[in-house]
Amino acid sequence: MVSQADDLATVALAFTRAAAEIVPDGTPPSVAFEPPRNPAFGDYATNVALQLAKRARRPPQQLAMEIVARAYTLEPRLPGLLDEATAAAGFINVRLAPAYWQRGVHTILAQGEAFGRALTPSGEHVSLEFGSANPTGPLVVVQGRTLSLGDSIAKAMRFCGIDVTTEWVINDAGSQLDTLGRSLYARYRQIADPAFPFPQDGYPGSYLLPLADAARARFAGAYDTLPESDWLPAFAQFGRDALVREQQATCERFGVRFDRWQSEKELHSSGAVEAGIVALRERGLIEERDGALWMRATLFGDDKDRVVVRSDGRPTYYGGDVAYHYDKLERNDRAILIIGPDHHGYIARIKLIPAAFGKPGAIDVLIAQQITTIRNGEVVSSSKRHGDVLPLDDVLDEVGVDAARFFFVMMSADSPMTFDLTLAKEQSNDNPVYYVQYGHARIASIERNAPPALRQAAARATTLERLVAPEELALARRLAEFPGVVRSVAMGLAPHRLARYAQTVAADFTQFYGACKVLGDDFDVSAARLSLSLATKTVLSSSLGLLGVRAPDRM
């Protein structure tokens, strides 16, 4: 059977050759057909005539009409593939014959979970870092957004054949770990002596209390009479390890797995940071001033040069970051970094790193914008400074993993979002995640009700020509968009498109379901409609899977 993609390629080729003959010079190598924004214009449209109009010095509409006519004389199969091809306002719009969309359903059933997946590796290697946090407390809501975005982007890229390494950096090298150690030590002493002073700039969160208990069980009273220089390393390390384990457990629960958990401290001890500084120096980008090493960031558009190694010999945070991104680019073709809203001002400094190493543009920075959490119409405070954080785990307890993951990617990353906890846990028609899951469960229910003979016929998909109703073809058309949507998610780093697409598929299925009875009297029609339903189920399941949301058979 001729595949759906081959048919579209035939059409595109016909118009490409026609355009080349009408305007001999300046024709693009191939005519790009895209679904128009307004479906009333047809299934696919191309703006080739508009692009050629200037060079040909002729009105685009006239060119478009000539290209259409020529395409039909060049490709005798066109009348069978297309219901119509029209020129309007310089665009060429085509409407494909029902057989095209029917073949699409067959393709989905034949390929199953592999539908839309790249057959061969793209050969591209990409580092994708997201989630990275200080190991000084539990993960908070914003990190839920970062994790959802990053994991879905990674899954979509892998779906498209790109080799992705997901990375999390444990920021355990700086002074905040000492603060953690002092805070934990104070809590530990307070168990026996409630009057023991808590450090001014300590971490006040209650999450340290169970850790203090654990520390007491581990250390007994061993450190109670010793000076800070003795107990600080032990408590900092103890707290760091415990909190990293907690953060990892939250990621696991959230369905996010990392290929690499990179300790920042280990980057220093392994010499990786020094290697990065050396690489900078080889390029003449290091300057010594006041005993410190400065990176000449102003050469790449920064407003000031940046210290990478302090006068006491310790690298700065930025120095470590420069080195680590250098390391990433040694290992990969490009790197993507998803950071939180509190690092806006940092983005320019990140982007100049690849430029400094001669690979401008090799790092994409995506910002997961701020989240305002709302419960019962009231803002839930989430200020880390005051210690009253809203841990991600609490959100998961309240609304569940599925709703959280769907909500976090529903909106484009660079727009600040409002997360309505009340809506997210509502099991109602207002809640988009349930709407999509419900569609999947409903198809599973139809499948259970279908007699075995019908199920077998549907799987063979031999009566798809019986799909002719507008709702049937509209749904088939929608399902065919799936591979393009996933590609756009991977290329544009925009998983919200997948979430929206899944909602649209669910809505189109509901339309179809309302208009066409699946399990009816006519065996062939029923089989065809069940085929369409099962193809829908596959696409919904794949879409949800890429978002890290379950696709349940019953709810």
Binding to RNA, residues 304-333 (CB under 7 A): 304, 306-307, 310-312, 314, 316-318
Of 157-165, 388-396, 436-444, 534-542, the window that binds RNA (rule: CB under 7 A) is 436-444
- According to the binding rule CB under 7 A, does residue 344 interact with RNA? yes
The nearer residue to RNA, 151 or 420, going by C-beta atoms, is 420
Among residues 97, 348, 355, 469, the one that binds RNA under rule CB under 7 A: 348
CB 119 within 8 A of CB 17: no
Q: Count residues contacting RNA (CB under 7 A)?
A: 99
Q: How far is the CB of 240 from RNA (least distance, A)?
A: 12
Query: Which residues in 359-418 contact RNA (CB under 7 A)?
Result: 367, 369-370, 410-412, 414-418
The nearer residue to RNA, 61 or 190, going by C-beta atoms, is 61
- According to the binding rule CB under 7 A, does residue 181 interact with RNA? no
- What is the gyration radius of the CA atoms in the chain, in angstroms? 29
- According to the binding rule CB under 7 A, does residue 91 interact with RNA? yes
- With H, G, I as helix, E, B as strand and everything else as coil, classify residue 151: helix
Report DSSP state, residue 363.
E
In 3D space, the residue among 520, 532, 513, 534 whose CA is nearest the CA of residue 451 turns out to be 520
Question: What's the rounded Cα separation, in Å, for the pair 341 and 339?
Answer: 7
Question: What's the rounded Cα separation, in Å, for the pair 33 and 10?
Answer: 12
Among residues 168, 238, 434, 482, the one that binds RNA under rule CB under 7 A: 434
The nearer residue to RNA, 281 or 306, going by C-beta atoms, is 306
Among residues 118, 214, 292, 355, the one that binds RNA under rule CB under 7 A: 292
Q: How far is the CB of 225 from RNA (least distance, A)?
A: 30
Distances (CA, A) of 238 to 138, 217, 243, 248: 15, 12, 9, 16
Q: How far is the CB of 167 from RNA (least distance, A)?
A: 17
Q: How far is the CB of 38 from RNA (least distance, A)?
A: 6
- According to the binding rule CB under 7 A, does residue 343 interact with RNA? yes
The first and second tokens of residue 5, run together, are: 């993609």
Query: Which residues in 242-261 contact RNA (CB under 7 A)?
Result: none
- Cβ contacts of residue 272 below 8 Å, gap of 6+? 323, 324, 327
- With H, G, I as helix, E, B as strand and everything else as coil, classify residue 360: coil
In 3D space, the residue among 211, 132, 205 whose CA is nearest the CA of residue 172 turns out to be 132
Cα 381 → chain centroid: 27
The nearer residue to RNA, 190 or 510, going by C-beta atoms, is 510
- According to the binding rule CB under 7 A, does residue 10 interact with RNA? no
The burial of 441, by beta-carbon neighbours within 10 Å (0-12 exposed, 13-18 middle, 19 or more buried), is given as middle
- According to the binding rule CB under 7 A, does residue 182 interact with RNA? no
- Residue with tokens 């990409």, as numbered in its chain: 126
- Residue with tokens 């841990």, as numbered in its chain: 391
The burial of 426, by beta-carbon neighbours within 10 Å (0-12 exposed, 13-18 middle, 19 or more buried), is given as middle
Query: Which residues in 216-245 contact RNA (CB under 7 A)?
Result: none
Of 187-195, 252-260, 337-345, 387-395, the window that binds RNA (rule: CB under 7 A) is 337-345
Question: What's the rounded Cα separation, in Å, for the pair 226 and 329?
Answer: 45
Q: How far is the CB of 1 from RNA (least distance, A)?
A: 26
CB 293 within 8 A of CB 287: yes
| Binding map of RNA across residues 136-165, x = CB under 7 A, - = no contact | ------------------------------
Report DSSP state, residue 453.
H
| Binding map of RNA across residues 451-490, x = CB under 7 A, - = no contact | ---------------------------------x---x--
Report DSSP state, residue 499.
H
Of 153-161, 216-224, 273-281, 342-350, the window that binds RNA (rule: CB under 7 A) is 342-350
- According to the binding rule CB under 7 A, does residue 206 interact with RNA? no
- According to the binding rule CB under 7 A, does residue 5 interact with RNA? no
The first and second tokens of residue 315, run together, are: 């690298």
CB 440 within 8 A of CB 540: yes
- According to the binding rule CB under 7 A, does residue 507 interact with RNA? yes
Q: What is the 3-state secondary structure (H, E, C) of 287-346?
A: EEECCEEEECHHHHCCCCCEEEECCCCCECHHHHHHHHHHHHHHHCCEEEEEECHHHHHH
Dihedral angle over CA of 104, 105, 107, 112, nearest 10: 140
In 3D space, the residue among 139, 135, 195, 216 whose CA is nearest the CA of residue 169 turns out to be 135
The nearer residue to RNA, 189 or 546, going by C-beta atoms, is 546
- According to the binding rule CB under 7 A, does residue 134 interact with RNA? yes
Among residues 5, 222, 249, 515, the one that binds RNA under rule CB under 7 A: 515
Question: What's the rounded Cα separation, in Å, for the pair 435 and 439?
Answer: 6
Instruction: State residue 164 phi and psi, 5-degree precision.
Output: -110, 135
The nearer residue to RNA, 259 or 414, going by C-beta atoms, is 414
The first and second tokens of residue 413, run together, are: 């990353």
Query: Which residues in 483-502 contact RNA (CB under 7 A)?
Result: 484, 488, 491-494, 496-497, 500
Q: How far is the CB of 76 from RNA (least distance, A)?
A: 25
- According to the binding rule CB under 7 A, does residue 289 interact with RNA? yes
The nearer residue to RNA, 45 or 82, going by C-beta atoms, is 45
The nearer residue to RNA, 52 or 234, going by C-beta atoms, is 52
The nearer residue to RNA, 391 or 432, going by C-beta atoms, is 432
Q: How far is the CB of 219 from RNA (least distance, A)?
A: 25
Among residues 27, 513, 525, 539, the one that binds RNA under rule CB under 7 A: 513
- With H, G, I as helix, E, B as strand and everything else as coil, classify residue 154: helix
Question: What's the rounded Cα separation, in Å, for the pair 248 and 430?
Answer: 32
Among residues 244, 281, 438, 474, the one that binds RNA under rule CB under 7 A: 438
Query: Which residues in 31-90 contact RNA (CB under 7 A)?
Result: 34-38, 40-42, 45, 47, 50-51, 53-54, 60, 88-90
